């Protein structure tokens, strides 16, 4: 699955233009209103952004991972709130169905996900299960042809906008093997959404609790139809999500660097441009070098992902090599982005602390990238375990 080069080039150019002409001028409005304007969401639908990763047979554009990271890089050049509107449809919300779902589930959901008619969210995290995702407690108790789901999900991106959730619940005893992934429509009786979380940054993105009280969900809504496979589905979704986020992080790094270069050229101190000082140039150079290294790594991991993708479908787990590379990529790129954002503020001096300047906002926004879809420490654990192998004891 991939778009031909010529059509892809046109798509990437139109996304770049959309980012620069439509989204960047609206960044301040999003920050002030804490909302992405509805007319922009409509334009995103027209451009096909909700269906970037969904194959054409289900109404999407059908990008492969190497193409998706290019588009994610372009989208990463502006406020993260914009990408977040359709990010769960492209990634963590829909990919469980795409990778492990039955044909009927794909047919029923993916066309509406691709068009943006249905927003899908990914519900894994709970109040007591964050990094330790296999410890999740939300219970699903069998009742005839249905399951009754009760419990709370936390920090769920797009929960207030979602029409359905890919939701991990415990159908069996302890551990990863007792977890099943359900497709849960948002309107079911007993399902409520908490108030939107008040976050440090990324204003305009929406996260909230999802609370389930005896929500009746048909057993047929288990992704793939077989219980006990949900943890692996979630992990496969996250491997892919970590790569997408890494590409977005490179886009953010490019923007912060461009803002910093522009400021260094324009701001004058001691009778000259601050960009003429080698201490400023050193910061710019370090950021540029880290961005080039990170972006090369993202593209290489995307190439590996595409080469191994066929083996993902229905398989027990993803290629451990790809999982390692996805984690290493997210670790390196998001940590580098933290340093690049910090240098961006430093180059701006006092102005970098004032919210009139874009770097102040990006500095807050990018902090989340080292936390969500697995903290840097979780990425280190995944890489470390893969290197050392299972303990013989």
Residues that bind ligand COS (CB under 6 A): 124-125, 131-134, 176-177, 231-232, 235-236, 238-239, 317-318, 323, 372-374, 378, 381-382
Beta carbon of residue 329, minimum distance to ligand COS (angstroms, whole number): 14
Closest to ligand COS by CB, 29 vs 381, is 381
State the virtual CA torsion across 79, 83, 84, 88 in degrees, nearest 10: -160
Q: What share of the chain is helix, strand, coil (3-state, %, to 5)?
A: 60, 15, 25
Q: How far apart are CA 162 and CA 112, in angstroms?
A: 12
Between 290 and 373, whose beta carbon lies closer to ligand COS?
Answer: 373
Residue closer to ligand COS, measured from CB, 135 or 211: 135
Residue 329 near residue 297 (C-beta atoms within 8 A): yes
Rounded Cα gap, residues 156 and 20, in angstroms: 29
Bridge partners, residue 170, by sequence: 139, 179
Query: Which of 31, 74, 360, 373 is labelled catalytic?
Result: 373
Shortest CB 341 distance to ligand COS, Å: 20
Shortest distance, CB of residue 311 to ligand COS, whole angstroms?
Answer: 11
Q: Which two tokens stand for residue 29?
A: 């409005």
Is 373 an annotated catalytic residue? yes
Residue 50 CB contacts under 8 Å (≥ 6 apart), including other chains: 44, 86, 89, 90, 113, 114, 115, 116
3-state secondary structure of 375: coil
Least distance between ligand COS and beta carbon 186 (Å): 18
* DSSP letter for each residue of 135-172: G---EEEEETTEEEEEEEEEEEETGGG-SEEEEEEE-S
Rounded to the nearest 10°, the torsion over CA 146, 147, 150, 154 is: -100
108 or 335: CB nearest ligand COS: 335
Least CB distance to ligand COS at residue 193 (A)? 17
Which residue, 13 or 132, is less far from ligand COS as judged by CB? 132
Number of alpha carbons in the 13 Å side-chain half-sphere of residue 25: 6
Minimum distance, C-beta of residue 242 to ligand COS, in the bound complex (Å)? 8
Collapse the DSSP code of 207 into the 3-class scheme (helix H, G, I; strand E, B; otherwise coil) and give the result: strand
Q: How far is the CB of 121 from ligand COS (least distance, A)?
A: 10
Nearer to ligand COS, 177 or 190 (CB): 177
Q: Which is nearer to ligand COS, 202 or 260 (CB)?
A: 202
Q: Enumerate residues 6+ apart whose C-beta is below 8 A from 220.
A: 145
Cβ 159 vs Cβ 212: under 8 Å: no
| Rounded Cα–Cα distance for residues 347 and 254 (Å) | 15
Min CB(232)–ligand COS separation in Å: 4
Nearer to ligand COS, 215 or 312 (CB): 312
Would you tell me how many other CB atoms lie within 10 Å of the CB of residue 44?
21
**For the CA atoms of 323, 121, 45, 57, what is the dihedral angle to 10 degrees?**
60
3-state secondary structure of 52: coil
Residues marked active site are found at 373
């Amino acid at each position: 699955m991939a778009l031909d080069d010529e059509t892809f080039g046109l798509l990437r150019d139109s996304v770049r233009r959309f980012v620069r002409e439509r989204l960047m001028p609206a960044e301040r409005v999003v920050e002030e209103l804490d909302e992405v304007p509805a007319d922009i969401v409509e334009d995103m639908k027209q451009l096909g952004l909700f269906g970037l990763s969904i194959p054409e047979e289900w109404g999407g554009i059908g990008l492969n991972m190497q193409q998706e990271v290019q588009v994610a890089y372009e989208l990463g050049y502006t406020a993260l709130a914009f990408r977040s509107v359709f990010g769960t449809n492209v990634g963590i919300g829909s990919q469980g169905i795409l990778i492990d779902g039955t044909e009927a589930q794909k047919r029923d959901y993916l066309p509406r996900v691709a068009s943006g008619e249905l927003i899908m969210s990914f519900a894994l995290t709970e109040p007591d299960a964050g990094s330790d995702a296999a410890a999740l407690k939300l219970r699903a108790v069998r009742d005839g042809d249905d399951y009754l789901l009760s419990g709370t999900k936390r920090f769920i991106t797009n929960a207030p906008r979602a029409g359905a959730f890919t939701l991990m619940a415990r159908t069996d005893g302890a551990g990863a093997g007792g977890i099943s992934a359900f497709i849960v429509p948002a309107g079911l009786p007993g399902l409520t959404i908490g108030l939107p979380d008040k976050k440090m940054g990324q204003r305009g993105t929406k996260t909230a609790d999802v609370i389930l009280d005896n929500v009746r969900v048909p057993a047929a809504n288990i992704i793939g139809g077989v219980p006990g496979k949900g943890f692996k589905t979630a992990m496969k979704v996250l491997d892919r999500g970590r790569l997408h986020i890494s590409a977005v992080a490179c886009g953010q790094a490019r923007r912060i660097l461009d803002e910093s270069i522009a400021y260094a050229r324009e701001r004058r101190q001691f009778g000259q441009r601050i960009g003429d000082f080698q201490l400023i140039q050193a910061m710019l150079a370090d950021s540029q070098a880290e961005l080039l290294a990170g972006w090369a790594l993202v593209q290489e991991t995307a190439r590996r992902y595409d080469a191994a993708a066929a083996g993902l479908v229905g398989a027990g787990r993803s290629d451990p090599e790809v999982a390692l590379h996805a984690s290493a990529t997210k670790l390196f790129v998001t940590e580098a982005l933290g340093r690049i954002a910090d240098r961006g503020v430093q180059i701006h001096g006092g102005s970098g602390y004032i919210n009139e300047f874009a770097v102040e906002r990006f500095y807050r926004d990018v902090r989340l990238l080292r936390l969500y879809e697995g903290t840097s420490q979780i990425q280190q654990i995944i890489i470390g375990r893969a290197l050392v192998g299972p303990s013989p004891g």
